Structure 1
Amino acid sequence: MIALLRLLLLMLLAVPAHADELRPGYLELTQQNEQQWKIIWKAPVLGGLATSAAPLLPPFCRVTMDRPNLSVGALVAAGRATCSKPLDGATVGLSGLEPGATDTLLRIAPLGRPVQTARLLPGQDTTIVAAVPDGWQVARTYFGIGVEHIIGGFDHLLFVVALVLLLQRGWPVVAAATAFTIAHSLTLAGTTLGLFGLPQAPVVAVIALSIIFLAVEVVKAQPGSPKQALRLSERLPWLVAFLFGLLHGFGFAGALREIGLPESDVPVALLTFNLGVEAGQMLIIAAVLAALALLRRLAPAAQRTALIASAYTIGSIASFWFIERLWA
């Protein structure tokens, strides 16, 4: 158990300081008239896309791309495509997508028709343009992105794990996690719609502090204490999760800015992204609760030691991120 925690520590310390941000590629095709399409291609510097991948359109399209510019850790290039016939039924996507490369969100906006979206992955680097797009396509895409973000976004992952280690009971954990989702949904929607916002640099630093706070609470928790002696995080965990969720929502907003939102489907994208985050949280909660139940059954005497070791590991990782983010 201790060896596993040390391995986890080494792996996560290797993650960049802005572990909360998604870094997918983004390819947008917007039809201007019967033959002309506008292309926007954004490839993050990290992730393998910038060095090898490029937009791929069918042979009947003549593509011209401008010189890319470096913007916020990504190469961004605009271009144009002149197509001799409609793209309906044609294959579009990326060429040169190598194994292990970051995924890419593809957005296709034909004139006068619904926007189509797809996720391009190594081994699944193209899609067929539908003449009549599936109305649930945007919902499926952003639900999947939400699940991936909570599982692959180490900030939120460690926050949820620490919350489970603190409470250790099913319904209190689920209630706290749901309060967290409701809170970050509010700030995410408000920031995405331009109602308010915060700079990302201090947000990601304080998010790391929120993880440190929960790790300290796990260490200080005294099982079996009378109710009046319980700490606020134990008495009202949903309130603590809600307050921190407001902060984490600004971090999610930074992620969605990296991905981009379909202008005509912002409500659907926001809703399904949040539902995906909630589904991902429930998967994490179920896995951690199952691990705790197995530990109680097989080695009950080691349970407290494992909790303390886990809390120190999580706190150390979050402290490392916090210090790096102050200097970033």
Structure 2
Amino acid sequence: MNRWLAVLFVCLGLTIWPTGVRADELRPAYIEMTEQSPGQWSLLWKASENSRLGRNGRIILPQNCQTNGARTREFVGSNILTRLSLQCEGSIQGQAIGLEGLELSSTDALARIAPIDSAMETVRLTPDQHIATLEKPSVISNVAATYTIIGFEHIILGFDHLFFVLALVLLLKGGWLIAKTVTAFTIAHSLTLVGTTLGLLSLPSQPVEAVIALSIIFLAVEVVKSKPGDLRLSERFPWIVAFLFGLLHGFGFAGALAEIGLPEGDVPLALLTFNLGVEIGQLAVVALALAVLHGLRKFQHSWLQPTKTATAYAIGIIATYWFIERMVA
């Protein structure tokens, strides 16, 4: 009875997971203020046209800045781009910038401030802190910290990337083997992420996202059909499987990063720290999953295999839903 209760609870917990969430829903608004000449600034605000921010959000400008002329709006892909010219009296250091409406959303915003006479600043706005005071930080530490956090959040909130890593944990045995396999996945998606960001590679997003869903279904089936003494393809060649599928997942990461935007002059640092954040997030997921499995193995060993099977079924069902959704979108 306990075994079937475990299966029931795991299935229930995972199948009520928000299935409508896509892999790359981390699409924060992006604000860029660039000083063109002393006191004269241009402002670019980018937000998804399907988001509440894109429809109703409003920039909170520094108090010493006024708009100069009419704003312009254009649609580029799935984004709304708003452009403004600003006249600012004196320095904007110590002033506040923000995004009204962000506190009602579930996403973040990045604000990139580029004065003529000082280092560029990148600040991160969140629903809990939708206004930030402009300081004068080290540009290197600022960009590194910002994009490391974004990479970490992306693997945690990008549910299909997370499910792929979780399926690897369920399938493979041994923490070191899992860590090396996940690292192969990271190296692969880093290659396509860098190639796509630099304009060297390109694939249409819809079929890529559909194949990403298929990669999760494949691993879920491998977990369900795995038997002692009869190694599945992914168990015999885990690094190769993770690397090949990682190349595809990299295009998904690139799509999200393109929506976020990269600071000019610091693209290599932003890419490096974004990938670092992704790797930290992946290893955190691996550590947590291994801890849960170890606890089941030690205290409720009879629950271990039913829990793995139920989790794999739930992951496969959700991934199948994603695949159908992306094919008909």
Structure 2-normalised TM-score?
Answer: 0.92
Contact 2:196–2:251 (8 Å) recurs in 1: yes
CA 1:132–1:24: 2 relative to 1, 3 Å: closer
> How far, CA to CA, are the matches of 1:304 and 1:99 in structure 2?
42
> How far, CA to CA, are the matches of 1:73 and 1:195 in structure 2?
22
- The alignment partner of 2:203 has SS state of coil
Contact 2:191–2:247 (8 Å) recurs in 1: yes
Aligned to 1:155: 160
Q: Which runs of 5+ in 1 are unaligned?
A: none
- How do 1:193-272 and structure 2 match up within 5 A? 193-223=198-228, 225=229, 229-272=230-273
- How far apart are residue 171 of structure 1 and its match? 0.6
Aligned to 2:63: 59
CA 1:67–1:269: 2 relative to 1, 3 Å: same
Aligned to 2:3: none
How many residues are treated as equivalent by the alignment?
322
Aligned to 2:125: 120
More displaced, 168-177 or 98-107? 98-107
1:38 aligned residue (13, 35, 42): 42
More displaced, 142-151 or 307-316? 307-316
Contact 2:103–2:129 (8 Å) recurs in 1: no
Is 1:11 aligned to 2:12, yes or no?
Answer: no
Is 1:50 aligned to 2:51, yes or no?
Answer: no
- The alignment partner of 1:175 has SS state of helix
Letter in 2 for 1:176: T
- The alignment partner of 1:135 has SS state of helix
> How far, CA to CA, are the matches of 1:95 and 1:266 in structure 2?
28
- The alignment partner of 1:62 has SS state of strand
- How far apart are residue 51 of structure 1 and its match? 4.3
Contact 1:48–1:102 (8 Å) recurs in 2: no
Letter in 1 for 2:223: V
CA 1:243–1:112: 2 relative to 1, 3 Å: farther
- How far apart are residue 72 of structure 1 and its match? 3.4
The runs of at least 4 consecutive aligned structure 1 residues that moved more than 3 Å come to 45-48, 67-74, 131-134
- How far apart are residue 293 of structure 1 and its match? 0.9
- The alignment partner of 2:46 has SS state of strand
- The alignment partner of 1:81 has SS state of strand
> How far, CA to CA, are the matches of 2:40 and 2:173 in structure 1?
57
Q: Identity over aligned residues, as a percent?
A: 52
Deviations 1:169-202 (A, max 9, x none): 2011100000000111111111101111111111
- How far apart are residue 47 of structure 1 and its match? 4.8
Contact 1:21–1:252 (8 Å) recurs in 2: no
Letter in 1 for 2:276: L
- The alignment partner of 2:246 has SS state of helix
> How far, CA to CA, are the matches of 1:47 and 1:298 in structure 2?
46
Structure 1-normalised TM-score?
Answer: 0.93
> How far, CA to CA, are the matches of 1:301 and 1:193 in structure 2?
50
- How do 1:46-195 and structure 2 match up within 5 A? 46-63=50-67, 66-131=71-136, 133-195=138-200
Aligned to 1:307: 308
- The alignment partner of 2:38 has SS state of coil
Deviations 1:141-175 (A, max 9, x none): 00000000000001100000000000142011100
Deviations 1:237-270 (A, max 9, x none): 1111111111111111101100000110000000
More displaced, 21-30 or 275-284? 21-30
